[in-house]
Amino acid sequence: MSTLIGIMCIVALLAICISHYWIMIRWRNPKFNNKNKKILPPGSMGWPFIGETLHLIIPSYSLDLHPFIKTRILRYGTIFRTSLVGRPVVISADPEFNNYILLQEGKLVELYYLDTFSNIFKQTGDDQFRPNAAGLVHKYVRSIFLSHFGAEILKTKLLNQIEEFVERTLFSWSNQASVEVKRAASEMVLNFSAKQIFSYDAEKAPFDLSEKYMKIIDGLMSFPLNVPGTAYHKCSKDKEKVTNMIRDMLKHRQNSPRKGHEGDFLDQIISDMDKEEFLTEDFIVQLVFGVLFATFESVSVIVALAFQLLSEHPSALQELTAEHEAILEKRENTNSFLTWDEYKSMTFTLQVINETLRLGNVAPGLLRRALKDIPVKGKGSEGESDQEEEEIEEEVETLNASNAELNLVTRRVLTM
């Protein structure tokens, strides 16, 4: 009896080992799941479910390519496969191929976001929130955004408001022993953007809006595991608090007799609800939430990076200061607001901004989902390389031998 139990334990252990080995082969070699036998780019899929996510989310303190991308480009080339937060992906650092992909929007590829981002920004479950249900929706959002943040409104209205807001913020910074520039810049940009979008007043708000958004950003690259204590769960809770605040504000304005009094971004959307069918309450809440996110994160990163780069290059800071002092010397009233002509005359300032944008690369990648097989430089219709093919065949032969051994042991147990 004890012998039978021992054999059964061995069989169970062997079955587990073979199953694990089989899963690892299928995971690390996507060709097994490739019914059409198409070539896949070289690369590594990491561990099942986790993939190589942990390598990517390790912070990089360099302006160079992230080590995750750089090491894989050196190992596999500019186009390689990997797995991130539970999804198999192909990463391309090939400028020519990337340009081709962007030109094939809606034909070979469509907009796509990782699961965490899609769930947080409500990109699933309702067609009106899908990024590819764009058409009329995209046209409307672009139009209303430009009407409140475009070049013309910047020239006539926002320029002076921005200057006044920045001056107050810098005065506040001057009274502090030290300032964490990235966080402080995030708060400054978010508060200004929120004021333009729905007349936000930080002093009267039920919570610190900038803090909530920064926590949401921290959770965007987490696994979409909605369990208390996880980064994704905390991110979802913070997002819920923000959207509830926006929803309450929307309902209050809809029921207010002073409808349209604020004249901000939200007021215009409310006034258009009778004209556009897609402007439902849920859509407006998600739109305001998303627009506010888009306006603050990238700008705050660039502001913080500009501080760092200028502190490391005194000559550039000196020339930048000289350009601004020259503008002040030409004024009749040095305390007057910045004019549009003065802004346009800041040629070196523009060069500093452009160089910071180039080095910062605040949008390091764009996500697209393939609708069809996409050949790359004539490849895409045959098997993988001969070396990879031989390695896979060897693993399959080993697996088949293990399966045969398992079947033999199983038959012996059943006949005892």
Whether pLDDT at 143 is above 50: yes
Question: What mean pLDDT comes out for the span 338-344?
Answer: 92
Average pLDDT over residues 185-213: 89
Residues sharing a CB contact under 8 Å with residue 236, sequence separation 6 or more, in sequence order: 119, 120, 219, 226
- pLDDT score, position 278: 82
User: Mean of the pLDDT values across residues 311-328?
Assistant: 95
Reply yes or no on whether the pLDDT at 167 is more than 50: yes
Q: Is residue 116 within 8 Å of residue 85, measured between CB atoms? A: yes
Is residue 46 within 8 A of residue 81, CB to CB? The reply is no
Per the prediction, the chain carries an average pLDDT of 77
DSSP labels for 303-358?
A: HHHHHHHHHH-HHHHHHHHHHHHHHHHH-SSTTSPPPHHHHHT-HHHHHHHHHHHH
pLDDT of residue 401: 44
Biggest CA-to-CA distance, the chain: 105
Say yes or no to pLDDT of 208 above 80: yes
Please report the pLDDT score of residue 1 as a whole number. 59
Assess whether pLDDT exceeds 90 at residue 295: no
Residue 26 scores a pLDDT above 90: no
**Per-residue pLDDT averaged across 94-100, rounded?**
88
Which pLDDT score, from 0 to 100, does residue 125 have? 44
Domains and CATH numbers, the chain: 134-312 (1.10.630.10)
pLDDT tier, 109 (very low <50, low <70, confident <90, very high otherwise): confident
Tokens of 116: 């965490």
Instruction: Name the DSSP letter for residue 177.
Output: S
pLDDT at 377 (0 to 100): 66
- Region 19-34: what's the mean pLDDT? 48
- Asked if residue 320 has pLDDT above 90, the reply is yes
pLDDT the model gives residue 242: 92
Read off the pLDDT of residues 342-360 as tens digits, 9 standing for 90 and up.
999 999 999 999 999 888 8
Q: What is the mean pLDDT of residues 287-293?
A: 86
**Minimum mean pLDDT range among 133-137, 219-223, 328-332:** 133-137
In this predicted model, what pLDDT tens digit does every residue of 66-76 receive, in sequence order? 888 888 999 99
Residue 139's pLDDT is: 79
pLDDT at 33 over 60: no
Contacts 24+ apart (CB under 8 A), 399-406: 399/18, 399/21, 399/22, 399/25, 402/14, 402/17, 402/18, 402/21, 403/18, 405/14, 406/11, 406/14, 406/15, 406/18
Can you give the pTM of this predicted structure?
0.69
Q: Give ∠ CA 366-370-374 in degrees, rounded to 5.
A: 110
Confidence check: pLDDT of 381 > 60: no
Classified as helix, coil or strand, 219 is helix
Q: In this predicted structure, which of 39-48, 69-78, 170-179, 324-333 has the lowest mean pLDDT? A: 39-48
- The residue ranking higher by pLDDT, 19 or 366, is 366
| H/E element, 91 | strand 87-92
Cα–Cα distance, 331 to 321 (Å, whole number): 16
Residue 61's pLDDT is 72
Q: pLDDT value at position 10? A: 58
38 has pLDDT over 70:
no
